[in-house]
């Protein structure tokens, strides 16, 4: 049993969430380590692709402490494995904080 008032407070904006390894509400890019160094981008219909850096918000992401998901700085939706985790494809989808 963990009393709420004795629980370690959640990290706030800019602080590291050690479990997820990401700073809270702090925008970041995801850069492939392949030679191209392209960035993860949100394209049409929630699809994701690597693209040349373009300075648009569709290439920025942030870790949301409340939902524990990675959200797009462009539309605030979250990374998601397609078909509720049944298909291998990745997409950006309405936040539901399920394991997928």
Partner 1 sequence: MSADKNSNGAHQNWKVVYVEEETYVVRRGEIGGKYGLRAGQPFFLMSKLSTGRVIDSLSGGTVTLENWSRGKASQQFFFDAKTRTIKSMQWKNKSLQISDNGKGHNLTLAKTTARWWQMWYFKNNQVVSERQLVWNIKDEKDDRGVKIDIAKSSPGAASQSWTIMYLDSLPTELRQGELNKDFGLLIGRPFHIKSKTQGGRYIDIPAYGGRQDQGSLVIKIPNGQIT
State the residues that interact with partner 1 by CB under 8 A. Answer: 22-23, 26-34, 40, 47-56, 60, 81, 88-91
Q: Beta 61-64 vs 69-72: how paired, if at all?
A: antiparallel
Q: Output the smallest distance, CB 21 to partner 1, in A.
A: 8
Q: Output the smallest distance, CB 6 to partner 1, in A.
A: 31
- Determine the straight-line distance between the first and last CA of the chain, rounded to whole angstroms: 27
Q: Output the smallest distance, CB 91 to partner 1, in A.
A: 8
When the beta carbons of 62 and 95 are compared against partner 1, the nearer one is 62
Are the C-beta atoms of 36 and 50 separated by less than 8 Å?
yes
Name the one residue in this structure whose structure tokens are 């392209």. Answer: 38
């Amino acid at each position: 049993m963990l009393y709420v008032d004795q629980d370690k407070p959640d990290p706030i904006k800019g602080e590291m969430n050690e479990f997820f390894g990401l700073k809270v509400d702090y925008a970041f890019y995801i850069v492939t380590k392949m030679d191209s160094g392209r960035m993860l981008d949100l394209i049409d219909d929630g699809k994701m692709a690597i693209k040349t850096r373009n300075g648009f918000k569709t290439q920025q992401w942030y870790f949301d402490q409340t939902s524990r998901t990675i959200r797009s700085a462009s539309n605030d939706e979250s990374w998601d494995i397609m078909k509720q985790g049944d298909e291998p494809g990745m997409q950006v989808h309405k936040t539901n904080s399920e394991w997928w």
